[in-house]
Amino acid sequence: MPVRLRKFIGMVALVALVIVYAVLSTAVAVAQLAESGPLVHLLYYLLTGLLWVVPAMGIISWMVGKPDPSA
């Protein structure tokens, strides 16, 4: 796969990941943490704010992986 195509696909995947992850984590917070205190909210948003990096690292490492020598 050409490097430019790989980076384009990875960029689209990263944008989609961030949008979907933000919507889902906010929906979970609204549904589950409505009665919780501010410390629980802080810990939840701190954890979920950092957790999206794990799948993003996988996408980025795929994007910059070894290019196909036949391309």
**The 3-state secondary structure of the chain, one letter per residue:** CCHHHHHHHHHHHHHHHHHHHHHHHHHHHHHHCCCCCHHHHHHHHHHHHHHCHHHHHHHHHHHCCCCCCCC
Q: Can you give the residue ranges of every domain in the chain? A: 3-63
pTM reported for the whole predicted model: 0.78
Tokens representing 37? Answer: 């205190």
pLDDT digits (tens, 9 = 90+) for 36-50: 999 999 999 999 999
Report the range of poorest mean pLDDT among 27-31, 58-62, 67-71.
67-71
